[in-house]
């Protein structure tokens, strides 16, 4: 495959700030509607890693990620997923700071969700195929 400079720049720009995670929703989606009609969803996603430490003990490590979605994606998330669902998300990292009431600077990292899908449960019953 021949990659031109233009194609290469497009590829690099798309993956420069790209995040993909699969995990479980930690609390119900909070959907906010603004006066201008826009919508914002906030939620948290837990990702789990397991490993065996030097003592031979299995250790489970959970990391919590703050997710933000806007517009139609926010609406779809609020109406289709709930706490406990396994979800895959694709988006980008966003960092921001603010000063709290005591004058301390707080740093927040969030994932701005562009796409998501709900992962089907392996314990869910499979529907029988019906011919046309």
Residue 22 in domain: no
Nearest to 89 by CA among 39, 41, 37: 41
Q: What letter does residue 126 receive in the DSSP assignment?
A: P
In this predicted structure, the answer to whether residue 121 has a pLDDT above a threshold of 90 is: no
Confidence of residue 132 (pLDDT cuts 50, 70, 90): very low
Report the sign of the C-alpha dihedral through residues 90, 95, 96, 97, in that order. Answer: positive
pLDDT: which is higher, 3 or 22: 22
Q: What integer is the mean pLDDT of 104-123?
A: 90
% pLDDT > 90, the chain: 77
* Cβ pair 110, 68 in contact under 8 A: yes
pLDDT at 97 over 60: yes
Task: Assess if residue 123 is contained within a domain.
Answer: no
Domain span at residue 44 reads: 28-118
- Cα angle vertex 80, ends 71, 122, to 5°? 140
Number of domains the chain is built from: 1
Confidence (pLDDT) at 130: 44
Task: List the CATH number of the domain containing 41.
Answer: 2.40.50.140
Contacts of 59 (CB under 8 A, 6+ apart): 50, 51, 52, 53
């Amino acid at each position: 495959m021949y990659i031109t400079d233009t194609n290469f720049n497009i590829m690099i720009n798309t993956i420069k700030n790209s995040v993909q995670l699969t995990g479980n929703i930690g609390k119900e989606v909070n959907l906010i509607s603004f006066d201008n009609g826009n919508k914002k969803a906030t939620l948290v996603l837990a990702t789990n890693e397991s490993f065996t430490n030097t003592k031979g003990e299995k250790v489970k490590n959970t990391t919590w990620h703050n997710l933000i979605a806007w517009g139609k994606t926010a609406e779809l998330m609020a109406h289709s997923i709930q706490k406990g669902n396994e979800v895959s998300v694709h988006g980008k990292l966003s960092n921001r700071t603010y000063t709290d009431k005591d004058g301390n600077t707080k740093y927040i990292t969030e994932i701005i969700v562009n796409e998501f899908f709900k992962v089907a449960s392996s314990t869910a019953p499979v529907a029988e195929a019906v011919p046309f």
